[in-house]
């Protein structure tokens, strides 16, 4: 009877067994730390110069100085996760670019390029989720009046709270003052 209530996972075509073993090992055990540290070095794998999206988003200094050491430690851990996503995206974007250069005339690898672009889309979405989660964790460190800085609709850039967090904070403060005047003016 329990089989009736368990949903079976949908799977696709099998892949090479050696590849399966490597993937399973890496996804369960990770990499050796020294290999990982070598792989994420900017000198070895720099991002393309024209691709500003492939950066680890920094926490604005104004916010960083306000949050507790515990929140700073948690944010650094999330940035380290983001570093892996960004470095994987750097490597994949260079690979897609190289394949596209060699495949200009034949379109022999167009399906591979499409699949790689799907992977880049998923990595980009993952990166956004990481940054929104970082904001959610920091939100509890902020005065309630400023939690709007953490809204999903608030864009981030190379900085977690945008390029001009002090202006946004002032705008929030001004709106709050106006709202209080309107509310208490009844």
Mean pLDDT on 1-19 = 85
Read off the pLDDT of residues 109-120 as tens digits, 9 standing for 90 and up: 889 999 999 999
Q: Any idea which of 60-64, 124-128, 141-145, 174-178 has the lowest mean pLDDT?
A: 174-178
Residue 186 has pLDDT above 60, yes or no: no
Mean pLDDT of all residues in the chain?
89
Tokens found for residue 106: 């034949």
Query: What 3 state SS string does 53-108 have?
Result: CCCCCECCHHHHCCCCHHHHHHHHHHHHHHHHHHHHHHHHHHHHHHHHHHCCCCCC
Instruction: Tell me the domain boundaries of the chain.
Output: 57-186
pLDDT at 148: 83
Confidence of residue 164 (pLDDT cuts 50, 70, 90): confident
Q: Any idea which of 19-33, 69-83, 133-147, 156-170 has the lowest mean pLDDT?
A: 156-170
Read off the pLDDT of residues 42-78 as tens digits, 9 standing for 90 and up: 999 999 999 999 999 999 999 999 999 999 999 999 9
């Amino acid at each position: 009877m329990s089989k009736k209530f368990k949903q079976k996972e949908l799977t696709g075509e099998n892949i090479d067994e050696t590849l399966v073993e490597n993937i399973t090992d890496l996804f369960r055990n990770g990499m050796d730390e020294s290999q990982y540290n070598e792989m994420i070095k900017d000198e070895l794998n720099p991002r393309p110069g024209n691709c500003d999206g492939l950066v680890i988003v920094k926490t604005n200094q104004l916010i960083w100085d306000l949050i507790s050491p515990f929140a700073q430690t948690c944010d650094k851990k999330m940035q380290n996760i983001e570093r892996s996503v960004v470095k994987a995206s750097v490597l994949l974007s260079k690979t897609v670019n190289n394949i596209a250069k060699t495949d200009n005339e034949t379109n022999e690898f167009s399906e591979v390029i499409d699949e790689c672009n799907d992977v880049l889309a998923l990595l980009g979405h993952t990166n956004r989720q990481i940054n929104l989660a970082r904001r959610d964790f920091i939100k509890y460190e902020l005065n309630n009046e400023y939690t709007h800085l953490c809204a999903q609709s608030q864009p981030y850039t190379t900085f977690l709270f945008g390029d001009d967090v002090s202006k946004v904070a002032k705008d929030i403060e001004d709106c709050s003052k106006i709202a209080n005047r309107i509310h208490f003016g009844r």
